[in-house]
Each structure stands twice: as C-alpha cells, then as structure tokens.
Structure 1
Amino acid sequence: METFTKRQSIVPPSFQAWHDSFHFTPATRVGDIIWVSGQVGLTAEMKAGEDMQAQARIAFESLKAILDSAGASLADVVELTTFHTDLRGEMEAFQAVKDEYFPHPYPSWTAVGVTQLGLPELCVEIRAVAVAGSGEG
C-alpha cells in the first residue's frame, strides 16, 4: 500500500501579513520537496531595495528564512527560477549576489526576462524548489 504525504503550508510569522493580504503561501512542502513562492526585494516595511544587488540580497534572505521554517536550507535548493526586468543589463550584478548564497555545487537555474513584476520598482523575483536534507553539510 502506498503512503502519501499531506501538503503542508509554510508561513513564517514574518510572512503572515502577506499570506493574509495576498492569499498565497510562501512555501508548500510535500514530503521532502519544498516549493517556494517568488521572493522579491521588498523589506518588511514594504520598501524596495535601491538596486539589483540590494533587491537580490533581500529576496535571497527571504528565501533563506522560508526554507529554514520549512526545515531546509539554501544548500537543499535544487532549482532556481529568476525573473528579471533587465535580464541582460543586470545579470552580472545579480549573479555576483547569487554566487554569495549558492557556492558550488550550484542548483539548476533558469533566468527569464519579463516586462514587469508586481510593483514598478521591483527588478527581480526569485522562486525555488528544494529537497530537504539533500544539500551538503
């Protein structure tokens, strides 16, 4: 007989207002797999980072906090998808920050250029898939 694992919504306390206001779950975990909703460069005060690098750091820190609440870490990320409003112009700046958070071995990564994100001041959104316990360390 097969055993199915139930879906678990991951809503860290600092994301509860977003969850309630925008009706989305920051992450969903089924078994060891965790799907993290897109994270953007907005602070808790809803202020956007000044540039690509600042927004990327804010988004990666949010990703890290959500994974921690889900019982995983950045080392467990197996896939990143990033959405950029200036894919070619800001890729070097983005990649420098990404490499701070994801040293070798790198996760799979797809970067997509988009015309807009949820707010006009946003320039990047980061979503991820992780497998809890799969990373090094």
Structure 2
Amino acid sequence: MTKRDVVFPAGRQALYERNRYSPAIRSNGFLFVSGQVGSREDGSPEPDLEAQVRLAFRNLNAILETAGCTFDDVVDVTIFMVDPESSFQAIWDNIVPEYWGNAPHPTVTGIGVTWLYGFQFEIKAIARLPEGAGR
C-alpha cells in the first residue's frame, strides 16, 4: 500500500491522532476532507448551533488552505444535520452564503441524522487540487 498524503491543519493534529483519522488525504488531483464539525480547540462542541456551523466551515477552510485550496475548489459537499427540519433553512440562508460564494456551486448531499457525537452539524468535502498544490 502506498503511503497516504495526509493534510493536517495547524494546531489540531493531536485531536485527529486521538480520534484515529486523517483530516484530509490528497489523491489523484483531489483532496478528500473528513467530516468537519464545530469543535473547539479541545475537541468539545460549540454549544450555539449557528456558531457551531460557522466553526465547522472555519475548520474545513483551515484544511483547504493547508492543502493550497479555497472553497472555490470544492466540487462536492455532504452535510449531516441533527434535526434538519428545524435548523436547515436558517443555516442555508444565513451561514452557507458566507462561505459558498457565487455560482456555480458544488454538488451537495444533505443527510438528516440522529447522532453526531454531540454535534449538530458536520460537513465533508471533495476539492480539486489546483496546479502546484501537491497532487
């Protein structure tokens, strides 16, 4: 097996090592980002939902930047939400436009779940690596 080309954002490597997964892997011109939640530095959930979602996007952006990408390079997104019926519209209207930018937007799959390890929102993404960003 070839060695995985793991991308670690600054300051969070211990959190990933403790939980035994990679934040992102570069492979064949793409960056595959693990689900990002609104965790504080110690790994605990941000209690306010909108603040938690913003923090999840900031955590995603930290990984993208470390790999030489921006959100414009994201081609596919999967979001997981606890109780999407009561929270989806506020998140989609108030927070997502801050990060999504202008059309064309990435493809999106939204999944309602009953448990996210104490979190209310998680986002995972696939981005294309720009030329020169390590392929």
Give the TM-score of the pair, scaled to structure 1: 0.86
Structure 1 distance, partners of 2:90, 2:49, is 7
Which stretches of structure 1, 4 residues or more, deviate above 4 A after TM superposition? none
1:109 and 2:108 aligned? yes
Structure 1 distance, partners of 2:18, 2:47, is 25
Shift of the alpha carbon at 1:20? 1.5
5+ residue gaps, structure 2? none
Structure 1 distance, partners of 2:10, 2:69, is 17
The aligned amino acid for 1:68 is E
Picking from 5, 10, 18, the partner of 1:8 is: 5
Q: Deviations over 1:44-74 (max 9, x none)?
A: 1334223221111000000000011111111
5+ residue gaps, structure 1? none
Structure 2 distance, partners of 1:19, 1:31, is 23
Picking from 63, 82, 87, the partner of 2:84 is: 87
Structure 1 distance, partners of 2:111, 2:52, is 16
Shift of the alpha carbon at 1:19? 2.1
After the TM superposition, which residues 60-75 of structure 1 pair with which residues of structure 2 at under 5 Å, given as runs?
60-75=57-72
RMSD: 1.8
Shift of the alpha carbon at 1:133? 2.4
Q: Secondary structure at the match of 2:79?
A: strand
Structure 1 distance, partners of 2:20, 2:101, is 33
The aligned amino acid for 1:98 is V
The aligned amino acid for 1:35 is F
Q: Deviations over 1:52-108 (max 9, x none)?
A: 211110000000000111111111011110000011110112112111100222111
After the TM superposition, which residues 12-51 of structure 1 pair with which residues of structure 2 at under 5 Å, given as runs?
12-51=9-48
The aligned amino acid for 1:83 is F
Identity in percent: 36
Match of 1:123 in 2: 120
Structure 2 distance, partners of 1:70, 1:50, is 29
1:98 and 2:96 aligned? yes
Structure 1 distance, partners of 2:32, 2:79, is 14
